[in-house]
Amino acid sequence: MYRLLLIIALALLSACAPMSLPSPAPAAVGGSEAQVRANRAARQFVEVVQTVEPLAERECRKRTTGMNCDFQIVVDDRADLAPNAFQTEDRYGRPILAFNIGMINSVRNADELAFVMGHEAAHHIQDHLAKTRESATIGAVVFAGIAAISGAEAEAVRNAQELGAAVGARTYSKEFELEADQLGTIIAYRAGYDPVNGAKFFGRIPDPGNKFLGSHPPNAARMQIVRDTAAALAGQ
């Protein structure tokens, strides 16, 4: 089951709130417009977590064996950070889905938030962190080995090792992002949200294009895999 840590009522709200949030006060009764928006966004976040997290957990248990599927949702309450969401693990291997205030504020509807949440959960289900670490390790070993064989000094070998790790970590990053988009679409769809509408979020972020060793694929490619996956789900 999920545990929601540090649910923050956005922008002007600084205190942590419990899982059930109070109803936002109407502006006419004295609550400011910003306060009302903050409460509305916080409630939307809680509702999406309550709907998507159990579904993501079920997908995780269905698709994996021996993996920790007890997702923990956390919120970074620093208001000065650019919108961001990511997946990581604690030292015990428990998956963490982290969102900051900027991300929660930037989504325009529950579909977008559900898609982002499904995408981050998919990274864990597909074990992308471990695969990235493995690729980084291989890259570091290969680059350092080539430098050593060529007679490079110790510092140059260390630099080659760092470069190899960076290159290795990005080798499959675009592929992983598309895989997470696909499974994230499935998770959002099965949770009752519209992933195609949710993926419109891509239209408001910079397009990375198709850069060599870039970390993310072009936005058009990501939208296409969402549309194709959602169409296949609707046709089942």
More confident of the two residues 45 and 167: 45
Number of domains in the chain: 1
Highest mean pLDDT among 15-29, 44-58, 134-148: 44-58
> Which of 198, 175, 182, 180 shows the shortest CA–CA distance to 233?
182
> Which of 63, 77, 208 shows the shortest CA–CA distance to 121?
63
How confident is the prediction for the chain on average, in pLDDT? Answer: 74
Is the pLDDT at 56 greater than 50? The verdict is: yes
Quick one: pLDDT at residue 111?
Answer: 97
Q: Would residue 70 count as lying in a domain? A: yes
Q: Would residue 91 count as lying in a domain? A: yes
> Which of 77, 116, 98 shows the shortest CA–CA distance to 205?
116
Q: Would residue 197 count as lying in a domain? A: yes
Residues 6+ apart with CB under 8 A from 196: 226, 227, 230
Classify burial at 73, counting beta carbons within 10 Å of its beta carbon; exposed 0-12, middle 13-18, buried 19 or more: buried
For 52, half-sphere exposure in the C-beta direction (CA atoms, 13 angstrom radius) is 34
Domain range holding 63?
40-126+172-231
Q: Are strands 85-89 and 95-100 parallel, antiparallel or unpaired?
A: antiparallel
Confidence of residue 183 (pLDDT cuts 50, 70, 90): very high
Q: Would residue 143 count as lying in a domain? A: no
- Structure tokens of 132? 């990235």
Question: For the whole model, what pTM was predicted?
Answer: 0.71
Residues 6+ apart with CB under 8 A from 68: 89, 92, 93, 94, 95
3 state SS for the chain: CCEEECEECCCCCCCEECCCCCCCCCHHHCCCHHHHHHHHHHHHHHHHHHHHHHHHHHHHHHHCCCCCCCCEEEEECCCCCCCCEEEEECCCCCEEEEEEHHHHHHCCCHHHHHHHHHHHHHHHHCCHHHHHHHHHHHHHHHHHHHHHHCCCCHHHHHHHHHHHHHHHHHCCHHHHHHHHHHHHHHHHHHCCCCHHHHHHHHHHCCCCCCCCCCCCCCHHHHHHHHHHHHHHHHCC
Quick one: pLDDT at residue 106?
Answer: 86
**What one-letter code names the amino acid at 184?**
G
Is the pLDDT at 157 greater than 70? The verdict is: no
Q: Would residue 84 count as lying in a domain? A: yes
Q: Would residue 211 count as lying in a domain? A: yes
> Could you read off the pLDDT of 63-119 as tens digits, one per residue?
999 999 999 999 988 888 888 888 888 888 899 999 988 889 889 999 999 999 999
Q: Would residue 54 count as lying in a domain? A: yes
Q: Would residue 63 count as lying in a domain? A: yes
Quick one: pLDDT at residue 31?
Answer: 62
User: Contact 162/96 with Cβ under 8 angstroms?
Assistant: no
